[in-house]
Amino acid sequence: MIDKVDIERFRGKPVGVATGGTSLEREISLKTGEAFEKALKGRGYDVTVYDIASDLEEVVSHRPAAMLLGLHGGRGESGVLQGFLESLEIPYTGSGVLASALAMDKRRARMICAGQGVPVAPGTWINPAQLESPEKCAAAVEHKLDYPVVAKLNDGGSSVGVHLCRQRQEFIEALAALRERVTSSPSSGVLVENCVEGPEYTVGFFEDEALGVIEVEPAETFYDYKAKYESKDTGYEVVTDEAVCEPLVRWARTALSSLGCRGVVRVDFKGEVDEAVMLEVNTIPGMTATSLVPKLAAHRGVAFEDFVEAMLATADLESK
């Protein structure tokens, strides 16, 4: 896997780790940044950590040889930071400007991927203006979808702002809560999908290579923020059954190709394989102690420090 990249590429050069930011996922981003910093320093790199919420001027003045991106959500994952680094000609890890923007916009991502044959759940879109009346929204959605439904921020991640609603009152309350979190961004709004029962899977990629499939087994019925980052009871099992892995990897590869993603990417699915649907594409997946992509790399015998160094070695520019 990692033997496909020039691991020596940035050794001996000053490199940066981008972390923090201002999104709802800031705390997870900080943890990812800490993990990246520790791994690179363990390999002897000259590392500077930049909190993108406050350190953009330092990025401009320092001009590191490459930037390892550890931001989740917001401007760090939506293509804005990627465009900033393109303008400075600083190579960065992960997907480029357009792919990042498309993947963060769940509504557009699912439209593009569905057009290429990737299964998605029946769903509908609610724009910020419509959220002024959650009751009217609920009535309109009920003409299209049956309960239970999942309502989530269209441009959110880490299961922040995700609500499982089994009846109308829960849905109205979820929409009222989500209304407080929408922004003026063109991609902001609420995506509502039919809830698909069954197991939850994630497929990890390093460049063009599938790292494998993990089945997530949350202690509760819903894999929310708490189950992801706080619960010690959430289970993770690497899937070896080819009948399960083959279609999930194939759909994930199609999704990444359709959106133009590169680097380390994670694609999430839910449901039994013959009824599974894609949940989302993560262009900067988490790298915390409970994160899924590092688990897949470790299962293949790749230590976390080696994996992070390989990630750094893939840093590139679209405009080169």
Catalytic residue among 75, 280, 291, 309: 280
Q: Pick the closest to residue 191 from 301, 78, 111, 297 (CA basis).
A: 111
Catalytic residue among 78, 95, 154, 282: 282
The encoded tokens of residue 310 equal: 């390989």
Asked if 276 contacts 18 with a C-beta cutoff of 8 angstroms, the reply is no
Report the 10 Å Cβ neighbour count for 227. 20
The region, left, alpha or beta by phi > 0 then psi within -120 to 50, assigned to residue 182 is beta
Is 286 among the catalytic positions? yes
Catalytic residue among 268, 271, 291, 309: 268
Is 92 among the catalytic positions? no
- Position 81, amino acid: L
Report the 10 Å Cβ neighbour count for 204. 27
Is 135 among the catalytic positions? no
Catalytic residue among 200, 229, 258, 291: 229
36, 93, 113, 206, 214 from 308: Cα distances, Å: 7, 10, 28, 11, 20
Catalytic residue among 266, 271, 291, 309: 266
Asked if 168 contacts 192 with a C-beta cutoff of 8 angstroms, the reply is no
Catalytic residue among 158, 161, 212, 262: 158
Is 266 among the catalytic positions? yes
Asked if 152 contacts 111 with a C-beta cutoff of 8 angstroms, the reply is no
- Give the total residue count for the chain: 320
Burial label, 274 (beta-carbon count in 10 A; 0-12, 13-18, 19+): exposed
End-to-end CA distance of the chain: 25
Is 280 among the catalytic positions? yes
At residue 165, φ and ψ (nearest 5 deg) are -120, 120
The helix (run of H) or strand (run of E) holding residue 237 is strand 235-238
The helix (run of H) or strand (run of E) holding residue 159 is none
Under DSSP, the state recorded for 4 is G
Catalytic residue among 16, 23, 25, 110: 25
Alpha carbons 57 and 265: distance in angstroms, whole number = 28
Is 268 among the catalytic positions? yes
- Catalytic residues, which ones? 25, 158, 229, 266, 268, 280, 282, 286
